[in-house]
Every structure is written in C-alpha cells, then in structure tokens.
Structure 1
Amino acid sequence: MKKLFAIFFLSLIFSDLQAQKKYEANWESIDSRPVPTWFEDAKFGIFIHWGLFSVPAWGPTAKDGVGIYDRYSEWYWKGISDPNRKSYAAFTKFHNNTFGKDFKYQDFTKDFKCELFDPNEWAKVFDDAGAKYVVLTSKHHEGYTLWPSKEAWNWNSVDLNPHRDLAGDLMKSVRDKGLRMGYYYSLYEWFNPLYKENVNKYVDEHMIPQMKDLVNRYKPDVLWTDGEWDHPSETWKSTAFLSWLYNESPAKNDIVVNDRWGKETRAKHGGIYTTEYDLVHDQNSTGMEINHPWEECRGIGSSFGFSRNEMLDDYSTSEQLIHILVDKVARGGNLLLNIGPAADGTIPVIMQQRLRDIGKWLKVNGDAIYGTRKWTNAPKIEKENTIYFTAKGKDLYVITTKWQESPITVSGVKSGKVQLLGFNGAVKSSVKAGKLIITPPALSPAKNPCDYAWVYKIENVL
C-alpha cells in the first residue's frame, strides 16, 4: 500500500511539474513537450474532408494517368485555376464540360446545403467503427470555414449555405459519444489576396487570430495543420503560436498537434509525425522505423474529399484497411482513416460499410490494438509481412493477417498462457529451443471469431 501511495504521489508531482512548465517560442522548447498519452492509446481515428469541394466532388483517378497526390478532389479549385499544369488538366476539362467556363468556384456555395447532415448519426458511425478520435477539416486550402470565423466573413458555413456551425455541431455529438475531437486547419489559402500580397500581415491579422478563435471556441483535442510548405516555420510564427497553445490556451493540457508547421518541420518538429498514403518527404514509409509518436493518414479511396469519379477498384477493401491498421499499430503508430462526405451531409454507403467492418473486427481484437505499444523485440516488419506483434503491460499479442495452418514460432518468449481472441476453446502451445510454439486451432466457419486478421494473446510474458 505504501508503494502504491508513493507512486501515486510521484505521479501527481510529475503532473504538477508538467502543468507549471512554460514552453518558449523555439523548437527546442516546443519539442520537449510530451505527446499526450491519450493519443498513443487511441490508435484509430477518423479524418473528415468536407467543404465546398464536396459539391463538384470530382478528382482524377488512376485511369486518368495521374499520381496519387494529384487525385485529391479537395484540390478542385486549384485544379481548375491552373489548366497549364499537366496533372490539373483533367480538372479543367471536367469543369468546363460539366459547369461551363464561366461557372466560378464561389458559385458552388449555393449547393453546399448539408440538408441531410445529422451529427449524431455521424458520431454513431465513428463510435461503431471503433474510432477513438475524429479530425474534421475546419478550413481547407480554399479558405472556406465550417465555423463562423470572423476572419472568413461571408466565406463560411454560417454566413453562407448551409447557415450552420458544422464544426461545433459535430464537436458536440462526437464528444457526447465519449470520443476525442479535433480539427484540420490549413495555414495557407490559395487565393486569399492578403496571403498573396503580404504573407506577414496574413499571418498576424488572419491566420493566427483565426486559429486562436478555433481553439478558444471549441477547445479541440487535436490541431492538425497543413499547407505549411510555402514558407519556413519562422514565417508562419509557428513556435510563437505553439507557445501560446501549450501555455495559455484552454486546450493546453490534452491537445495534440502534428509536424506540419513549416516547410522544414515534417518528421522533425511539432508533435506527432505524419505520413500520407505511406509517404513522408516523398519517401515510402512502409516498414520504416519511426521512433516517435506518429500517424498515417489516408483515404478509403484515393482521394480525401468525396470523388464521384472513383470506382470500386479505387477503394481499399475492408481486409486491406484492417491490415493497414495492424501494420501501423505494430510499428508504433496510429491510423487516421479519412472519409469524404457528400455535399448533402451523408457519408457514402461504401465508406460506412468499410468502417462497420473495421468496428466489427475491433470488437473482437481491440485488446491487441488500443493502449498497446510496439514490441521492442519484434523482428523487422517487411513489406510482405503477415505476422505482427503489439505489447501491453506484461502481455504480448501476435497478429496474423493470413490464417496460419502451420505452427507459429515466437522468438524471445519461453512460456505463457495462449488464447485466440474471440475463440471459445483451448490453444496448444509448447516451448522448443527457447522459443514459444503456437499451434493454431482447427476452425470451422461457425467457430471463426473474425475475418481478415487473427490475434493470439500471450499472457504475462513481458
């Protein structure tokens, strides 16, 4: 009892010291702030790209011969504004043929009605999917905000259609489900005259006041910045803002930020490191060792915003998505999986189906995902890996993304009770040459606990 009290007392002292620490406006100080524990425990989040780009809801796909970064439908306005760039030509062709050369992007506001948007239904979909946090595009590069930002006067979802605080409504519903909630925010705006004419004035009078309003108004758990690549963090005054965020803001204790704060900061500064469709700095991150809290973001399809041009083959299957989740978690990361709602406020059914399958799998196997960490003794994960490991406390989890008929050998583990999660039956194991040998049970369709991946829990071995 005395030992437990001492641990509790020391933890209080540590928490108090953290609360008292002041973070200065330089990267050495900012980077010293620990990433809040809730993030690494959560493992699975939902990204939402929703805005005026959801009205045309169109982007090129693989069949159009463009690379993955040129398929994003949320880049529609940029695409139709630069027809001379080869990768954007498809946007211009579609726009002119569908809406006409004289149809301006701003005209899409009349059709961003969100008439079927039910934030409670969205929150239920996310909760049923097993997600632990949600990140919504409060403002993408187009500058249109989903909350009544005074810096975006007459260019937000309250002043214009749908005349509703979409960011606030979803925040309430998501938190009512017990999930964490945060916002994506683009530092730059493609066509904002102030940004194009005087970036310093834009930062001082538009960007920073707007970000502070977002934080003060909603107290988000995540601030996921983007659009940082035009300028170094010094121009964006990122460390000054983060110093305020960590020291003074109402979200200072629990907020998580990413690494997109200047063209030099990704995988170097900020909070969590981010990969996107398995790329970081144009380098494939598959199998990469990342010894820092990190997160992979990607769409269920090849676009973040909803694209009506995508076909079934452009969407990842439920099996592929579950395997992606397993891979990221086994390597110490999180998965932020994106959905792109339609302009009417509905989540496309195919996206709902994928999320439901993930949730069904997590109901059986979530113990091997939530709250776990990378197993330090795990063998290197190769591209074609089918056996993964996670660890939590003294327990080790062996995750197989392909059903193993033959025995599974676990090096570095000599004993321990073995169970197959979701299976009501015994699992045989033995020790040979200092290694644990697991004999997979014979499963019938009626006794199969889940689809796509299976988890063996080895108790009390670490």
Structure 2
Amino acid sequence: MRKLRLKWIALFLIIFQINQISAQKKYEANWNSIDSRPVPTWFEDAKFGIFIHWGLFSVPAWGPTAKDGVGVYDRYAEWYWKGISDPNRASFKAFTKFHDKAFGKDYKYQDFAKGFTCEMFSPDEWAKVFEESGAKYVVLTSKHHEGYTLWPSAQSWNWNAVDLNPHRDLAGDLMKSVREKGLRMGYYYSLYEWFNPLYHNNVKQYVDDHMIPQMKDLVTRYKPDVLWTDGEWDHPSETWKSTEFLSWLYNDSPAKNDIVVNDRWGKETRAKHGGIYTTEYDLVHDQNSTGMEINHPWEECRGIGSSFGYNRNENLEDYSSSKELIDILVDKVARGGNLLLNIGPTADGRIPVIMQQRLKDIGRWLKVNGEAIYGTRKWTKAPKVGKNTKIFFTAKGKDLYLISTEWKDEPIAIEGISKSSKVSLLGFNGLIKTGIKSGKFLITPPVLSPLTNPSQYAWVYKIENVL
C-alpha cells in the first residue's frame, strides 16, 4: 500500500512539473509581448559592471580627443576604420592625417589583423582585476562594427580571432575565467557591419544568413548573462527581425532564464523597447541625461577616458579620476541605474595600468561602502538629483543610506524622516550623533583623523529601520 501511495505521489509531482513548464509564459514576436518580460533581478542588484572594447581597432589605438575640438561620439578610437573611410564624419581629417603619417596612405585596415597578437592576454589576471574592482558582471565586445569576431564564428570565416591573429577563442577564454570568479558575463554584439558587402547589397539576406545565425551561435555556445546589442540605428527593428530573435532568446535559448538585453534593437527602440535602457556618456539620443528620472531598469556606459577602445592619444586630463568615477557610480545607483564602466585593453592583451589603478580604487571604496550600492534601489522620497548634488540616497529593505560625495562638517538634515533611528558611518567604529529638528532628521558628522577616516572619496551613513 505504501509503495502504491509513493507511486501516486511521484506521478502527481511529474504532472505538476509538466503543468508548471507548460504554464511558463511564451513570449511572442511583438514588442508588447517582449517588453512584458521582467528584467532579471540579478541585474538591478549588481549595480556595477565592466565593459571591454577590444578588437582590431586596438592595434592603431588612436582617436581624436577634446583638444581636437570634436564631439563626444567623434572621439571613439574603436571607430578608427570608419574614421579613415568616411569623409562626412567630423573627425575624418584627424583620423586620416594620423593614419597617413603612422602607417601610410596605402595601409589597409585589414592589415591591422597582423598586429592583434594578444600575447600578453591572461584571462585569469583580467578576471582578478575585475573581481577586485567590485564589479559584478562583465560585457566583452564579441564583435564591433568592423565585423571581426573574438570567437570562431562560422559567419565571419577568416575574419575572427581564431582564423587570424591571435588564433585563440578570446570570448570563450575570458568567459571561463570570469565565471570562475563568481561574476556574470555577457557580450556586446553589433547588429550592423560597416563594410560587409552583403549588408549593403541585401540587408534581408544579411539578417537571415549572417546576423541571426551568428547571434544564436554566440548565445548557444556560451550561454551569456548579457546580450548588449548596438549598431541598430540604420533600420527599424522590423528589418533586424529583433522581436523574432528575442522570442527565441526568451523561450528556447539555453540562456533564457537569466539573460539581460538592452534597448538597441532598431532605430525606434532606445528607451522604449527591449530590456534595460541605456545611456552613453550621460547622453540619450544626444540629450543630456544628468539628473533625468528613468523609471525603468537602466544602465550608463562610458569609458574611463573619452573613448571606449584604447586611445594612445589620450593624456591624463582625458581620464576621469577615481573620485569622479565613484561619484558617477553613486549618482547612477541613487537614480536607480547601473554603471557599466569601460576599459580598453591593448592589442597585446594588457589592461592599461591607469585603468587598473582606477578599478582598484573603486574596489577599495566598495569594500567599505558596497552595502549602500549592491542590492539597493532608489529612495522614492529622495530630493531630485542635479548637476551640483552632493548628497545621494539609496534604500534596501527598511534601511536608508545617505551617501555624501563631499565631506560635511555641519549637521546634515534629511526631510521625510521624522523618527529617531540608529545611524552608523560605514567603516567607522565611533558613535554618530542624531536628532530631530523642525520635523527633519539630523546627522552630525563625527570628527575624523587620518587613522579613522574610512574613505577618501565618498562617505556613507546607514540609517536603520526608517523605511
């Protein structure tokens, strides 16, 4: 009798599991359905990621800078091939002048494949740098607009890192090392390719025979946590067959449960469709996004310098300081976003030392103050953030975090809290004086010495059980 009962229980569990699987939502190939998929919670908890722009553009490693008087988008060293080929670009003269001087007028971009040697690339060392930075996810350029892939893509035969230099699956090697550190990893992927003849002659065939199979191979082969598309602006999402691909990604792909995508799926989709919304050097469609309220999971991407790809033309003044980068991280997180901070490795496979130093400083700060960053959400009662804001707030559970990017000697008043609460300064062992005055909660900063100061850049007060 007992055996019969166990068989019935087992049968019930099997039927229940089948029903659960069949009950899982199927996403249809239209934006209403695709947009209904929630962004996986791991992304909003992670807050800080590392972007990596690496490819043949890392060989010339050159772009104009602010001193050349060109706009933000014209300083990108990863646009080198387009820069020396398109007379309509504002930076065309700067790129061609450098190229002709450094390599010669007859030197073709394809010849840079010889210099993409990566002999000093150690994925384990890179992963260690990322781990120590405090980042929780990594996004590598699997293919930029030049079409050269960092994995052995059949659709990019003889134009990838395995068939040509460095004869290595860079995308796969880094994925393995990053995941061994417990970090999530995904890939940037450019929908269009500047000089692919098929793309220019028959975009439909390009999408059907090249782009879609290539993206499916990337997802199936590596099961990434992020698919970060770009280069969508030439055509609407219908031409790119974006909803068809995304319905496969969400329903049938091996990455369907955890994968995060962005909003770059057609010239009409940014900040409207897809997954997370993306800003770039604080720009959304050329509009400054500083202080903007974005009521959707979102992410700011930017370089440590003014380029994504490594730019040998940049000097110290072109790089953000550690303080500036931490302030940027705080600003984005307080407004409900993530920061995807880019590094541009060299053609031989090194992370430039100045970039390593910036990442180390961010990691040191997060070791003390990460509690106010990871897993938090924006405080709905926080004052509006502006260009000159120095006090930011994040929330987690019943606790509120006040982050001051400038040390305050005077008491800090918080509106919206009218009851007493325990307050601590993260990384500091002393007591913090508090009080209520005129219906506002007051925090009196402690007197610090070089030995007791927990941070060089921004200070976090934890206010317990007030939410």
TM-score of the superposed pair, with normalisation by structure 1: 0.96
Q: Where do residues 24-173 of structure 1 align in structure 2 (5 Å cutoff)? A: 24-173=28-177
Residue in 1 aligned with 2:321? Answer: 317
Over 3 Å counting, the alpha-carbon distance change for 1:459 and 1:17 in structure 2 is farther
Greater Cα offset, 184-193 or 374-383: 374-383
Q: CA deviation at 1:458?
A: 0.3
* Structure 2: distance between partners of 1:207 and 1:56: 27
Aligned residue for 2:84, secondary structure, equals: helix
Match of 1:456 in 2: 461
**Distance (Å, rounded) in 2 between the aligned partners of 1:330 and 1:437:** 20
Superimposed CA distance per residue, residues 15-58 of structure 1 (whole angstroms, 9 cap, x where no aligned partner): 95897100000000000000000000000000000000000000
- Report the counterpart of residue 329 of structure 1 in structure 2: 333
Match of 2:421 in 1: 416
1:87 is displaced (CA, Å) by 2.1
For structure 1, which runs of at least 5 residues remain unmatched after alignment? Answer: 1-11
Partner of 2:279: 275
Which segment is superposed worse, 266-275 or 404-413?
A: 404-413
Letter in 1 for 2:464: E
**Out of 377, 402, 410, which is 1:398 matched to?**
402
1:6 is aligned to none
Per mean C-alpha deviation after superposition, the further-off stretch among 409-418 and 385-394 is 409-418
Opposite residue 364 of structure 1, the aligned amino acid is V
Of 317, 323, 348, the residue aligned with 2:352 is: 348
Q: How far apart are residue 65 of structure 1 and its match?
A: 1.0
1:389-413 superposed Cα distances (whole Å, 9 cap, x missing partner): 0000000000000000100011111
- Cα distance in structure 2, aligned partners of 1:232 and 1:385: 38
Rounded to whole Å, the distance in 1 between the matches of 2:356 and 2:54 is 16
Contact conserved, 1:83 with 1:92, CA < 8 A, in 2?
no
Cα deviation, residue 84, structure 1: 5.0
Note if contact 2:70-2:90 (Cα within 8 Å) is conserved in structure 1.
no
Query: 2:308, 2:35 → 1: CA distance?
Result: 29
Kindly indicate whether the alpha-carbon contact (under 8 Å) linking 2:129 and 2:360 is maintained by their aligned counterparts in 1: yes
* 2: CA distance, partners of 1:236 / 1:289: 30
Residue in 1 aligned with 2:209?
Answer: 205
- What TM-score results when the alignment is normalised by the length of structure 2? 0.95
Q: Given the alignment of the two structures, is residue 381 of structure 1 paired with residue 390 of structure 2, yes or no? A: no
Post-superposition shift, 1:379?
Answer: 0.8
State how far apart, in whole Å, the 1-side matches of 2:340 and 2:90 are: 30
Distance 1:63 1:130 in 2: 33
Counterparts of 1:150-299 in structure 2, within 5 Å, are 150-299=154-303
Cα distance in 2 between the residues matched to 1:18 and 1:340: 44
Between the aligned partners of 2:415 and 2:286, the Cα distance in structure 1 is 34
Deviation at 1:88, TM superposition (A): 1.7
Is this contact kept in 1: 2:74–2:90, CA < 8 A?
no
Separation in 2, partners of 1:263, 1:251: 25
| Residue in 2 that maps onto 1:302 | 306
Deviation at 1:424, TM superposition (A): 1.0
1:142-173 Cα deviation digits (max 9, x unpaired): 00000000000000000000000000000000
Cα distance, 1:18–1:315 mapped onto 2, change above 3 Å: farther
Give the match's secondary structure for 2:340: strand
**Residue type of the alignment partner of 1:225:** T
Query: Is the CA contact 1:19–1:253 (under 8 Å) kept in the aligned structure 2?
Result: no
Deviation at 1:83, TM superposition (A): 3.5
Counterparts of 1:449 and 1:19, CA distance in 2: 51
User: Residue 23 in 1 paired to residue 32 in 2?
Assistant: no
Give the count of matched residue pairs.
Answer: 450
Change (3 A) 1:369 1:16: farther
Aligned equivalents of 1:85, 1:310: Cα separation in 2: 20
What does the per-residue CA deviation read over 1:68-100, in whole Å, with 9 as the maximum and x for residues that have no partner?
110000000001112353322111110011100
Shift of 1:318: 0.2
Tell me which structure has the larger Cα radius of gyration: 2
Distance 2:407 2:142 in 1: 42
Preserved contact between residue 187 and residue 228 of structure 2 (Cα < 8 Å): yes
Rounded Cα–Cα distance in structure 2 between residues aligned with 1:353 and 1:346: 13
Structure-2 change in CA distance of 1:305 and 1:424 (3 Å): same
Counterpart secondary structure, 1:455: strand
Aligned residue number for residue 3 of structure 2: none
Which moves more between the two structures, 206-215 or 16-25?
16-25
- TM-aligned CA distance change 1:322 to 1:223, over 3 Å: same
Q: Deviations over 1:208-256 (max 9, x none)?
A: 0000000000000000000000000000000000000000000000000
Does the CA contact (< 8 Å) of 1:125 and 1:355 recur in 2? yes
SS in 1 for 2:436: strand
Contact 2:161 2:167 in 1 (8 A): yes
* Aligned mates of 2:401, 2:102 — CA distance in 1: 52
The residue type equivalent to 1:407 in the other structure is: P
Name the aligned partner's letter for residue 310 of structure 1.
Answer: E
Amino acid at match of 1:372: T
